[in-house]
Amino acid sequence: MNAFEPALCTVTFRKLPAGEIVALAAKARLAAVEWAADAHVPPGDTATARTVRRLCESAGLKTSYGSYVAPPSDDFSALEHALTTAVALGASNIRIWPGTRQRDSRDYSARERRATADAIREMAAEAARHGVTVSLEYHPQTLTDETGSALSLIEAVAHPNVYLYWQPRPGLPLDEALSEIARIGEHISHIHVFAWDGDRNRFPLASAADYWRSVLAAMPSSRWTGRRFAMLEFVAGDDPAAFLADAATLRQILKMEFPPGASAIADEG
């Protein structure tokens, strides 16, 4: 198992400025921050990207870029803007969305799936030339909304610079989560961590500590060779205090320690 380090997705705090987010991440003793392209580091805004990079470097934080490039809806030019920004940010990884957002994978024809794979492959080759890896969001209503679809897509892309994120669909039972990561684990770069139920109600991460310890313990070895991050994404009430508590829990989980008083929620992820 490749070890994960604690990190944060800034979509968790869309309304907070970058400086406050960096301060929170440093206080929480995180290792990295993934910056949202639709909130904090817009694509093409390399001046902001460089400023955020300096903030992160001063705090000892690595960076990833959470873009909303969604091939084939978005073409190669969209990737170029996002990639330039990622490089200015000092990000070693860029997240893109596989397929048209808000569209179920079952609605794609074989031709559309091939077009998506071809577009991702082209984008991955360009990112590789800049030393940036490409990770595909693992999310409902994309081509990774179902494990079989995600696996067939990554096999069709067939490019060594393309990886998968992983996160449980809200309310995903633990046995199904373990089945998913067993099938796609070799392709997983980073993961998103949260505690939601099937209705997207948010809970303290401590309430799902056993769930996440089980997931991490079962995570297969990956072809990913860089540092891996378990990124906190969303907290109860969008509250910085809740985030700091969740970050403390996440650090304990990653060390395979059980937080005192925590209990498992096997069907809430």
Residue-wise pLDDT tens digits, 101-124: 899 999 999 999 999 999 999 999
Token duo for residue 238:
């969008």
Cis peptide bond prior to 160, omega within 30° of 0: no
Model's pTM, two decimal places? 0.92
Residue-wise pLDDT tens digits, 20-54: 999 999 999 999 999 999 999 999 999 999 999 99
d(CA 265, CA 269): 8
Helices (H), the chain: 18-27, 46-59, 76-89, 110-129, 147-157, 174-184, 209-218, 240-254
What is the SS3 string spanning 125-167?
HHHHHCCCEEEECCCCCCCCCCHHHHHHHHHHHCCCCEEEEEC
Low-confidence ranges of the chain (pLDDT < 70): 1-2, 256-269
d(CA 208, CA 265): 5
Q: What is the DSSP letter of 259?
A: P
